[in-house]
Structure 1
């Protein structure tokens, strides 16, 4: 192999490495500097008409416009659990039996944000961020026939906006924090961060170094190993 061939080979290898290290972010987004709290840039993001939802589809990051849903459902053996979230006007958790001769059962009052199965048990997340109130909780739902009870597992101290389950851990993005829940023990990975008032709505995880969060006005990229963060907004 002569020097010219070796040089071309090195250039090609370097190009491949750069390509592999490129961001997952779509080309119609650009990175901007993380804004300071209460800055003009934060205000612009807060008043943005665009909210972006993130997910992985065929191992590729998908970004689309977010459409809010205040209700959640989870089918169980003999009926459907229904969670309602009406913000400052409250909400509730109901059970609607498959047997229509039976009445629905109100299990709990409160703003029910998410219902999900985890390790063969049923959990729900409740929360509210309004005026001076900013709270959120994780509950385990217990079912014995037609009887329902629940116990509080975690007090977030902040209102959750999105969650996902990745490699048997629960990740929660809240009003201003980001949590990892392992074996039902909570760890705060990012606290009092810049997305306060930007309302996280979705989390997409490729690995611990590639974690994405959809918010109002943009997309956040987190590296949970280095605890770094990046912000992207639309070029349009």
Structure 2
């Protein structure tokens, strides 16, 4: 009995040590002041490393962007030739009551939003929006869409809703610059990182600038966001941006 108990204790301690050494846990990354030196920012801008964040089992993980776990449809869609270009690019997927909303983002080459049936046999185009990310709030479906390219940066939040048993869209709010990622804070406000800024959008569609011009502007390309315990983490080139939604203090997280 004592021997078995000793084995359990050893295994537990070993697992604890392994967890503490797991560099994929953002809690094991190191905190640095926000870089302001032009040479440091230039170096980060030329980095080949793109970090992305995601949440799993109540923990925040950071991985290479290429390893970010994206949702997949459980079938292959038989696409008509006329629609084949729309189905290229990065796909975002949202499971809805009668199938899936699927958004495609192709950068300067455009994008599209489609509904796809639960078995993948039927689909129709909803709009030409360049969908960056879906989000659900209070049973309503939203998405951020837009593009930053060659000095142009624009986008919006759209609401996706059913009208006469077909999905349709309307603009919820025009954004000042192109959105890159979105999440909900503890009050149900949208927190959005754009190509330039960090925004809070309340339930009345009023925008507050948390950060007007972030260190990522025009160089570090945010790609993902997680909010955990009132802390916002945004994955981007070279590192992870950390912002406390309560104190409004920020920092720069690196694996070293």
TM-score range with shorter-chain normalisation? 0.7 to 0.9
- Tell me the SS of whatever aligns to 2:226: strand
TM-score by length of 2: 0.72
Give the C-alpha shift of residue 177 in structure 1. Answer: 0.9
Q: Tell me the matched-pair count.
A: 208
Structure 2 CA distance for partners of 1:227 and 1:79, relative to 1, 3 Å? same
1:95 equivalent in alignment to 2:105: no
Q: Which runs of 5+ in 2 are unaligned?
A: 1-24, 71-89
Residue 237 of structure 2 corresponds to 216
Decide whether the 8 Å contact of 1:174 with 1:199 is kept in 2.
no
Residue 136 of structure 2 corresponds to 117
Question: Aligned partners of 1:123, 1:25: CA distance in 2, in Å?
Answer: 28
1:44 equivalent in alignment to 2:43: yes
- Tell me the SS of whatever aligns to 1:45: helix
- Tell me the SS of whatever aligns to 1:36: coil
From 175, 183, 193, the counterpart of 1:156: 175
- What is the root-mean-square deviation of aligned Cα atoms in Å? 2.4
Residue 86 of structure 1 corresponds to 106
Please give the per-residue CA displacement for 1:76-132, whole angstroms capped at 9, x wherever unaligned: 222221100000000111112347675x22111131111232111111211101002
Structure 2 counterparts to residues 1-236 of structure 1, below 5 A: 25-27=26-28, 29-36=29-36, 39-67=38-66, 70-98=90-118, 102=122, 104-167=123-186, 168-183=188-203, 184-196=205-217, 197-208=219-230, 210-235=231-256
Question: Aligned partners of 1:213, 1:46: CA distance in 2, in Å?
Answer: 16
- Tell me the SS of whatever aligns to 2:115: strand
- Of residues 90-99 and 53-62 in structure 1, the stretch that sits farther from structure 2 once superposed is 53-62
Superposed structure 1 runs of 4+ greater than 6 Å apart: none
Question: Aligned partners of 2:60, 2:139: CA distance in 1, in Å?
Answer: 29
- Tell me the SS of whatever aligns to 1:226: coil
Structure 2 CA distance for partners of 1:146 and 1:61, relative to 1, 3 Å? closer
Structure 2 CA distance for partners of 1:25 and 1:116, relative to 1, 3 Å? closer
Give the C-alpha shift of residue 201 in structure 1. Answer: 1.9
Question: Aligned partners of 2:101, 2:55: CA distance in 1, in Å?
Answer: 27
